[in-house]
Amino acid sequence: MCALPALDGKVCGACLRRRPAFDRTLAAFSYDFPIDRLLHAFKYASDLALAGVLAEPLARIAAAHPKPDLLLPMPLHSSRLKERGFNQALEIARLISKWLDIPLAANACRRTRDTPSQAGLKLEERRRNVRGAFACDLDLTGKKVAVLDDVMTTGATLNELSRILKNCGAIEVSAWVVARTLPE
């Protein structure tokens, strides 16, 4: 489910102990050199030309899986959006939506509060940090949704958004990420 390697090649121990709200994860890369540098340049140096480079490998993997009804980028809080000028997840989602012909729900969900950075927080703290941080007005009854984010670190943020989407009626949520942080 969370794309961490498991001994039997199936579900990792953490997901077995506590099932995440998303049903599967597709990740194009592990979060390592040089992808970490590319993602950083994309996000903080606003090198938007990198969107295509990062989106394409993920699109290839996604194309080999059943198509969701809707593609939803991880929302950015409005204050961060103002600061950065763009939502990196939306830029990648735009391309994949176009290439794979999946409807894009660009601004259907939002962050209700600006959560402190998750960096340096343990999993439990991350879960608490993002609890109740999203709102979504969509009626997703019977829908299969893919949520797109640039990086999955612990999965706490994607888990919280997925929980909200399930509350809105989604029957299946897939997490699509460019890179997944793997344990040392």
**Contact call for residue 95 and Zn ion (CB under 5 A):** no
**Contact call for residue 4 and Zn ion (CB under 5 A):** yes
Indicate the residue among 126 and 143 with the shorter CB distance to Zn ion: 126
Strands lying side by side in the sheet with 24-30? 24-30, 172-180, 144-152, 70-73
Indicate the residue among 2 and 70 with the shorter CB distance to Zn ion: 2
By CB under 5 A, the residues from 5 to 64 that bind Zn ion are 12, 14-15
Indicate the residue among 65 and 98 with the shorter CB distance to Zn ion: 65
Closest contact distance (angstroms) between CB of 63 and Zn ion is 23
Closest contact distance (angstroms) between CB of 23 and Zn ion is 12
Closest contact distance (angstroms) between CB of 184 and Zn ion is 16
Closest contact distance (angstroms) between CB of 169 and Zn ion is 25
Indicate the residue among 3 and 105 with the shorter CB distance to Zn ion: 3
Give backbone dihedrals phi and psi of 86, rounded to 5 degrees, phi first: -160, 160
Let me know if 170 is exposed, middle or buried by CB neighbors in 10 A (0-12, 13-18, 19+). buried
Closest contact distance (angstroms) between CB of 1 and Zn ion is 5
Indicate the residue among 25 and 87 with the shorter CB distance to Zn ion: 25
Instruction: By CB under 5 A, name the binding residues for Zn ion.
Output: 2, 4, 12, 14-15
